[in-house]
Structure 1
């Protein structure tokens, strides 16, 4: 420990090192339940690429594991510390280095908060679409590490589609540049995409070149109440089948609606079994909402209410954004699943989740990015009740098994981390895991980067 600190101090300013155990303990884990976390030896908060390189050279020399972190808003334990590790928090590397309206790119450091970037590019008439529910606090580096999505991905896609290039500090301290600043480019293997979603297991992202889009018109939102989740999912299928491209298409079940109302008195309709939110940012959103409203009514909606203005629309979106936080108030703890299925199987996914909730005697609320089939079943339980905690874990596994049975994936945007390691192996199969381990070994032969995650 003394040798580690001495070497780190040789290349870092005093304020970049945290050794107080009470403080380092606060960096030990992200927001996931049921994920083990170790005790870090030290927390480092670098401000420059050179400082990150120094940390990695020191770690390699002493064979000390390194756990990269962003804002620790993750939900899979991917940022959890391991015993004796260096926690490398990138939150101080928070500069927006460039915004180019001509090239439609932004160049940023990993600690830039998603919402800060979004507002900065808006001032230039540009738009950065990926918008996770935690966008006010999560960082771009964390978004890249988990390949995160958000409410707008049904139309605009996820983080991976906006990362054009990266600068990455490798395990031995070398600096690797991947990708490009140009609108297109196919030179060599796509190493940029390889790093997106790698959860800090291949290298430390220290700079990102991000694609931007022209800022769209303000969107308008429609809210539709349904007597069942099945009818709401039928409406989703009708909307997508008819070729509509909403800027978001979100679903909240009755449990979620009631939780949001209880937490924030939003006045959402508690009599509904499922609330569908659909938005358009087209030149004539009212016409698009009217067409979708007819499809919702045909599918069985009991009420369809289009927002009259952007302010009303934003209020509805705030309700959806606070869904996960509201469900956390139902019981003392939650496990947030992240199963994505084909849109055509969305109804089966929600019906199966309801059956699992009944089987295990638990409250499971569901909010979903319905437009792309990404569901977030939230298992609510009392963490001080051993039996209820056991049932919560078992129900979580049952939901993931259901997703795979329906042709889906165990994670659409939250990542694998610690929470879903066993399930990743089931989804990829033996050959898939073997090849991914080989890739990990090529970038990190000593296994120092975020050990114990993914595999």
Structure 2
């Protein structure tokens, strides 16, 4: 089959939508993982409507050209890294948000930022809970594609828990409309959930209908520092055995110092670890939960416990946790881990990461959504030193193997992308991998949708 000329797609959509300018396309090659294997697109389609996406996919289907969907480019697993001579479809211009306060939903195009959806909901006294650390810069399309989580998911769940409707352009350019503005709907197979977390390998998401909830109640924040990270991890296990915090975050000593270098906010540089926990339970229940947090931390040897109900004061410590990634970037290049395990295995997981760091003579600062066992051991290395690069990649693989050995996962919220693809078969096993490939082949028989990612 001869490939239709790119000029045909430009003629259909216009040169403002379709660009093949190398200088422009270079800005779309990488996501935040900055995978140096990124190719150069054949063209970038900066879609403004679902019809633009359909036209682009239709052209790619006829041309047998790979399609790589892209949101804000804030992904951390290489999921939107450009494939050589692909058609990159960016949804950054699709930014519409409509709030239906009666139905308590947000109808959102994929380019809208998570923070923008939160702000729009807040105008109606409502809240969109999924809360990635990058919420100010990540897009809803990317959140849907990776089933993103964040700081609040320990109590409020992850992205898929808030999706009630989805529009998706499939590999044959059909526009599927799944779900809708309904509280309950079990008609047919649960296809909508199939696309959430599929990382663009099954289709391009062009609209989401997201469940909203009443605004979050007032919170109390506890900050506890520990002599070592093991005691902090065991405190997490102890808390979660008794209560369900609305937030429970961990920072190890190295990440504390990197954030302090970055923000200069007076964090305890001598601490081996810090926990930031919150309760938003109503009335007296909030005080009871905080007292349990304090007791558990004290029993496990916390150096200091500090409690505040001042929202600004509490947010200051949450901001320190959110800043960890940017602070680590100043230390060197990063390989970004996202491994998780069941809560009781959290101390063993964190201890194992420390041993991997020591064995490979490399720094691995750890932050974690500790309340749901999701850790981010980020491997720091010198890209100009081949030995440092080799040790970093070895440590990266070992951390994933550690998580699998504990019955955990290679990714809790960032997605498999391209960087973790090699470890997926060991976690899922041959039967699940085979079924996954059958689904992929059925929906994308030519294999054009985000090839090289996930499967």
Pairwise TM-score range, normalised by the shorter structure? over 0.9
1:451 counterpart = 2:419: no
- Any conservation in 2 of the 1:42–1:86 contact (CA below 8 Å)? yes
2:273 corresponding residue in structure 1: 274
Map 1:396-435 → 2, pairs under 5 A: 396-435=396-435
CA RMSD of aligned residues (A): 1.3
Q: 2:265, 2:259 → 1: CA distance?
A: 7
The Cα offsets for residues 61-98 of structure 1, whole Å up to 9 and x where unpaired, read as 111111000011111110011111111000101100x2
Q: CA deviation at 1:197?
A: 0.6
Q: 2:235, 2:70 → 1: CA distance?
A: 39
Q: CA deviation at 1:126?
A: 0.6
1:253 corresponding residue in structure 2: 252
Q: 1:160, 1:91 → 2: CA distance?
A: 21
Query: Which has the larger displacement, 429-438 or 359-368?
Result: 429-438
Q: 1:133, 1:352 → 2: CA distance?
A: 24
- Any conservation in 1 of the 2:409–2:427 contact (CA below 8 Å)? yes
2:150 corresponding residue in structure 1: 150
2:24 corresponding residue in structure 1: 23
1:43 counterpart = 2:44: yes
Q: CA deviation at 1:288?
A: 2.8
1:297 counterpart = 2:298: yes
- Any conservation in 2 of the 1:57–1:173 contact (CA below 8 Å)? yes
1:368 corresponding residue in structure 2: 368
Map 1:341-360 → 2, pairs under 5 A: 341-360=341-360
Query: Which has the larger displacement, 177-186 or 44-53?
Result: 177-186
2:263 corresponding residue in structure 1: 264
TM value normalised by structure 1:
0.97
- Any conservation in 1 of the 2:239–2:292 contact (CA below 8 Å)? no
What SS class does the counterpart of residue 69 from structure 2 fall into? Answer: strand
- Any conservation in 2 of the 1:148–1:159 contact (CA below 8 Å)? yes
- Any conservation in 2 of the 1:4–1:58 contact (CA below 8 Å)? no
What SS class does the counterpart of residue 402 from structure 1 fall into? Answer: helix
What SS class does the counterpart of residue 167 from structure 2 fall into? Answer: strand
Q: 1:233, 1:64 → 2: CA distance?
A: 47
- Any conservation in 2 of the 1:383–1:389 contact (CA below 8 Å)? yes
Q: 1:33, 1:12 → 2: CA distance?
A: 30
Q: CA deviation at 1:209?
A: 0.7
Map 1:189-200 → 2, pairs under 5 A: 189-200=189-200
Aligned length: 452
What SS class does the counterpart of residue 363 from structure 1 fall into? Answer: coil
The Cα offsets for residues 260-297 of structure 1, whole Å up to 9 and x where unpaired, read as 00011021111110100001122234443233112210
Q: 2:331, 2:52 → 1: CA distance?
A: 43
1:90 counterpart = 2:54: no
- Any conservation in 2 of the 1:252–1:274 contact (CA below 8 Å)? yes
Q: CA deviation at 1:400?
A: 0.5
Query: Which has the larger displacement, 305-314 or 267-276?
Result: 305-314
- Any conservation in 2 of the 1:16–1:46 contact (CA below 8 Å)? yes
Q: Which sections of structure 2, spanning at least 5 residues, go unmatched?
A: none
2:316 corresponding residue in structure 1: 315
Q: 1:308, 1:167 → 2: CA distance?
A: 41
- Any conservation in 1 of the 2:108–2:209 contact (CA below 8 Å)? yes
1:324 counterpart = 2:325: yes
What SS class does the counterpart of residue 15 from structure 1 fall into? Answer: coil
1:69 corresponding residue in structure 2: 70
The Cα offsets for residues 107-146 of structure 1, whole Å up to 9 and x where unpaired, read as 1100010001001101111110001111101000000001
Q: 1:159, 1:300 → 2: CA distance?
A: 35
Q: CA deviation at 1:308?
A: 4.5
- Any conservation in 2 of the 1:216–1:282 contact (CA below 8 Å)? no
Map 1:176-215 → 2, pairs under 5 A: 176-215=176-215
1:218 corresponding residue in structure 2: 218
Q: Which sections of structure 1, spanning at least 5 residues, go unmatched?
A: none
Q: 2:452, 2:36 → 1: CA distance?
A: 11
Q: 2:13, 2:276 → 1: CA distance?
A: 49
Query: Which has the larger displacement, 400-409 or 282-291?
Result: 282-291
Q: 1:2, 1:64 → 2: CA distance?
A: 9
The Cα offsets for residues 367-423 of structure 1, whole Å up to 9 and x where unpaired, read as 000000000001111011000000000001111100011110000000011101110
Q: 1:216, 1:282 → 2: CA distance?
A: 10
Q: CA deviation at 1:356?
A: 0.6
Q: CA deviation at 1:5?
A: 2.2
1:395 counterpart = 2:395: yes
2:231 corresponding residue in structure 1: 231
1:306 corresponding residue in structure 2: 307
What SS class does the counterpart of residue 392 from structure 1 fall into? Answer: helix
Q: 2:173, 2:85 → 1: CA distance?
A: 20
2:282 corresponding residue in structure 1: 283
